Amino acid sequence: MSVSNLIGRETECQRLATCMSENKAQLVVIYGRRRVGKTYLIEEYFDGDFTFRMTGEFNAPKTLQLKNFANELSVQLGEYAKTPADWKEAFFSLRNYLSALPANEKQVVFFDEMPWMDTPNSRFLAEFEYFWNSWGSRQHNLVFIVCGSASSWLIDNIEHNKGGLFNRLTCKIYVEPFNLYHTEKYLLSRNINWPRRDICECYMIMGGIPYYLSLLNPQLTYTENIDFIFFRKRSELWDEFQHLYHTLFAGNDGYIKIVEALSRKHIGLMCSEIADATGLAQNGALTKMLKSLEDSGFIRPNTFYGNKKKNTLYQLADYYTLFYFRFLKERRKKDEKYWTNSLHLPEHHAWAGFTFELLCMDHIRQIKKKLEIGGVLSDQSTWFLRGNENDDGAQIDLLIERNDRVINICEIKFSNDVFTIDKEYDRILRHKIEAFRQETKTRNNLMLTMITTYGVKRNMYSGSVQREIIMEDLFEK
């Protein structure tokens, strides 16, 4: 195995090492957002040394999937293997091949993009269940890894299987995007040494998605890279949105309607609001779509303070998707230097402001570490109070409720310089805190916490800030 080229995957490698050391059959599921590096992780860890490997083909019929299976088996056998008539015959051929190998050696089988193999009326899943229950689960040297970007399929059919695979899964690994620490480490490995503010903005466009980051050119600046990758005619990612969503959610435009509606409301929408915004019926089908988007890493439910389940807010959590709807969908043909030319425009500042809030929520562990509450039981949530004709309402994007009876009320601001609290903003802050105290009837100590790019300027209004976190703190491991 080889892990020298892997960055930020220590936990995943440890899990795989444990699976390899066990003296019993292992059924391992690897899932995560498309382009996050699931296949790369497995290929690097095992150095491409698989007993058998097959990759599902998108939108291909059963006959072609079975032909691909036969071709891969032919390579391993070193001789021609006929195409099986169905998946029952295919798995029986795989069983015969594996049975002929030394019993004292580990056998690693890797089915990549398994959801694409499960074509309509193919009985793929049923035959895989039979293969595993009748033979595979009793082979102490077998490690069977299944992977795919359609996370909801893996969760529903493998992890939460109520039939033949019930309770058969031995290990599940969710491959997350890089955080800022590992993003910076990855960029440095490619001789990209940018200021952290540029890395931060790049993250707010690409997230910690290794494939996107791999497209960055060390010879170009941050803004030149964004123009080249996104706004140049027929650039590398010019059709990424269509490829990303249509391969995962083929034939259902409801998913795109949902993420587009969420892209317009950065704090998120409740289920009923999503239904209103998209025209989709508020029923089980919508619930299933939301769950699929959540499983695939594109949206997330944010807990409303007080655990009011009916007020759960679904928020767009995918940086690229947000960037697409904000800047790419309508503008890609107008200006190939758009990003460089937009740095000082109000819409750029507005995007950076609310996307930095998303980034902070994705780095909550680093925030808690800086607050020195890593060892204190705590939970994060959001809260808002709708306004009326007599009141503007109030909104708090991040609350950290701690077991020591303290609530950090976090105000998040992304700016080009040290942030200044003026008289009007001081009034807004005080109103938020008081509205929260009165509406929730909390008796906890409320601690105003500013999360900014470069800190808060000391003046007559800064004294109300009790804790500060700056961009640099988010780069902690």
Q: Is residue 2 part of a domain?
A: no
Residues 211 and 252 placed together within one structural domain of the fold: no
Establish if 5 belongs to a structural domain: no
Pair (310, 429) in one structural domain: no
In a domain, 38, yes or no: yes
Distance CA 170, CA 27 (A): 5
Do residues 194 and 202 make contact, with C-beta atoms less than 8 angstroms apart? yes
Same domain, 232 and 340: yes
Rounded Cα–Cα distance for residues 173 and 150 (Å)? 14
The per-residue b/e assignment along 271-291, b for 16 or more CB within 10 angstroms, e otherwise, is bebbbebbebeeeeebeebbe
Neighbouring CB atoms inside 10 A of 367's CB total 25
- Shared domain check, 338 and 209: yes
pLDDT at residue 89 in the model: 98
4 domain residue, yes or no: no
Structure tokens of 233? 């005619």
| pTM of the shown model | 0.93
Does the residue 439 lie in any domain?
Answer: yes
Q: What is the pLDDT of residue 221?
A: 96
Same domain, 262 and 210: no
Q: Same domain, yes or no, for 49 and 152?
A: yes
Q: Of 322, 344, 372, which residue is a domain's last?
A: 322
Residue 187 belongs to domain spanning = 180-238+332-355
Distance between CA atoms of residues 168 and 133, nearest Å:
9
Residue 102 lies in a domain: yes
- On whether both 60 and 200 belong to a single domain, the answer is no
Q: What angle do CA 267, 271, 272 make, to 5 degrees?
A: 110
Q: Are residues 198 and 267 in the same domain?
A: no
The number of beta carbons lying within 10 Å of the beta carbon of residue 356 is: 23
In tens digits, the chain (477 residues) has pLDDT values of 556 679 999 999 999 999 999 999 999 999 999 999 999 999 999 999 999 999 999 999 999 999 999 999 999 999 999 999 999 999 999 999 999 999 999 999 999 999 999 999 999 999 999 999 999 999 999 999 999 988 989 999 998 888 888 788 999 999 999 999 999 999 999 999 999 999 999 999 999 999 999 999 999 999 999 999 999 888 888 889 988 998 888 777 999 999 999 999 988 999 999 999 999 999 999 999 999 999 999 999 988 887 655 678 899 999 999 999 999 987 655 788 999 999 999 999 999 999 999 999 999 999 999 999 988 899 999 998 887 766 778 999 899 999 999 999 999 999 999 999 999 999 999 999 999 999 999 999 999 999 999 999 999 999 999 999 999 999 998
Final residue belonging to a domain, choices 119, 148, 174: 174
Residue 298 maps to a domain: yes
Give the integer Cα–Cα distance in Å for 352 and 42: 35
Q: What is the pLDDT of residue 386?
A: 81
- Structural domain contains residue 116: yes
- 214 and 270 assigned to the same domain: no
For residue 401, the SS3 value is strand
Alpha-carbon span 263 to 268, nearest angstrom: 8
What is the CATH classification number for the domain harbouring 412? Answer: 3.40.1350.10
CATH of the domain at 132: 3.40.50.300
pLDDT reported for residue 308: 58
Q: For residue 303, what pLDDT is reported? A: 85
CA angle 118, 123, 127 (to 5 degrees): 100
Looking at the structure, tell me whether residues 186 and 296 fall in a common domain.
no
Q: End of a domain among 174, 195, 217?
A: 174
In the chain, the number of structural domains is 4
Q: Which CATH number belongs to the domain containing residue 305 in this structure?
A: 1.10.10.10
> What per-residue confidence (pLDDT) applies to 309?
59
Q: How many CB atoms are closer than 10 A to CB 412?
A: 20
- Residue 162: the pLDDT is 82
Is 191 found in the same domain as 167? no
* pLDDT in the model for residue 307: 67
150 and 28 in a common domain? yes
